[in-house]
């Protein structure tokens, strides 16, 4: 994961391998990362793309 800028509040995730996803289809895309958040906190993977928000389909 990387941050877009020094002031970014989140990280950009990347696919661990190239995967072709056909139009109007979904797929599980491995990132090969593991995250442990401290007790009492909330961890979330959120879309950042405007297209993803419009489509409202998020699968993790």
* pLDDT computed for residue 57 by the predictor: 52
CA dist., res. 49 & res. 13, Å (int): 12
Per-residue model confidence as pLDDT tens digits over 44-55: 887 665 555 555
pTM value? 0.54
Angstrom distance (rounded) from CA 4 to CA 22: 27
Max distance between CA atoms of the chain, in angstroms, equals 39
Helices (H), 1-60: 50-55
Per-residue pLDDT, 39: 96
- Between CA 17 and CA 27 the distance in angstroms is 13
Gap between the Cα atoms of 60 and 50, Å rounded: 18
What's the pLDDT tens digit per position in 3-27? 878 887 778 888 899 989 898 888 8
């Amino acid at each position: 994961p990387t941050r877009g800028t020094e002031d970014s509040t989140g990280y950009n995730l990347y696919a661990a391998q190239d995967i072709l996803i056909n139009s109007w289809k979904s797929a599980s895309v491995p990132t090969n990362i593991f995250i442990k958040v401290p007790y009492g906190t909330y961890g979330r993977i959120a879309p950042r793309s405007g297209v993803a928000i419009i489509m409202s389909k998020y699968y993790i």
